[in-house]
Amino acid sequence: MANHRFQSLKWWRKLTRREWTIAAASLSILFFTLSFITHSNRYSNNSMTPPSDLIPFTPLSNAQQKSAFCLDGSLPGYHLQKGFGSGSDKWVLHIEGGGWCNSIETCSFRQTTKLGSSRFMEHEVQFFGILSSDPSQNPDFFDWNKVKIRYCDGGSFSGHPDSEFKNGTEFFFRGQVIWEAVMDELLSIGLSNAKKALLSGCSAGGLATLIHCDDFREILPKDANVKCLVDAERTLLEVPPLSDFIKMLLTSRVWQKA
């Protein structure tokens, strides 16, 4: 009986070379199909997983009162994630970058983007890097109060002209006013009690950090440990042709501080 079963298993020895080729090709196709289905299911499951820590956009509640407007006249704002545990009295503020505008053409275009209007900003964003709540990615600040300040004035949060520039299009150069309004609101919800605080920014946000660092120190408690981090910002006034660009920017904004 056992010998009969063993003999029946030798059928494969009778296959021709053509039949072997067909069988091998069929197995390859089957393996590829199963692998594709497995990968597709895995991708589908991952794509269906909602992103964590989506932080809503908060329009400035005092914007109208203080005349703090984005380049197009819309309301500026920020994203805030409250700290917890030992980080509840510590704050990290990050000013996003996005270049500058220094002409009617570039500022007009900017008004139609999220860098010049809150109308085009994301309603929710996910925090990464220095703003992440994942201790494995951000061990130093994961439990701090984290704020992303949205950039929409086109001039690194510095500009306070007496009257708006008009030439067929109205521009609101209110960077300095936006900065002051954001600080006032954050102070009212806990920043005034900060034991530690870090102001950071990259590119145009780095220039804003450089401009406002001293003021940031002044508005916080005297015993608070306050630092500023300027990331990816060049010394623009010393690097032509960027120096000419910044001079035009200063003229168009009538900056109070530079």
> CATH no. for residue 109?
3.40.50
Q: What is the pLDDT of residue 102?
A: 83
Bridge partner list, 147: 80, 93
Query: Does 258 map to a domain?
Result: no
Considering the domain architecture, whether residues 20 and 117 belong to the same structural domain is answered as no
Considering the domain architecture, whether residues 143 and 65 belong to the same structural domain is answered as yes
Yes or no: say if 199 and 212 are a contact pair by the CB < 8 Å rule. yes
pLDDT band for position 170 (cuts 50, 70, 90): confident
* pTM score of the predicted model: 0.74
pLDDT band for position 160 (cuts 50, 70, 90): confident
Considering the domain architecture, whether residues 43 and 111 belong to the same structural domain is answered as no
Look at residues 27, 48, 69 and tell me which one is the last residue of a structural domain. 48
Pairing status of strand 165-166 against strand 170-171: antiparallel
Look at residues 48, 65, 86 and tell me which one is the last residue of a structural domain. 48
Residue 240: C-alpha distances to residues 36, 103, 155, 247 (Å): 54, 18, 18, 11
Considering the domain architecture, whether residues 94 and 16 belong to the same structural domain is answered as no
Considering the domain architecture, whether residues 75 and 134 belong to the same structural domain is answered as yes
pLDDT band for position 78 (cuts 50, 70, 90): very high
Q: What is the pLDDT of residue 83?
A: 98
Mean pLDDT of the chain: 80
Domain housing 79: 54-253
For helices 175-188 and 204-219, angle between their N-to-C axes, nearest 10 degrees: 50
Can you tell me the distance from the alpha carbon of 126 to that of 133, in angstroms, rounded to the nearest whole number? Answer: 10
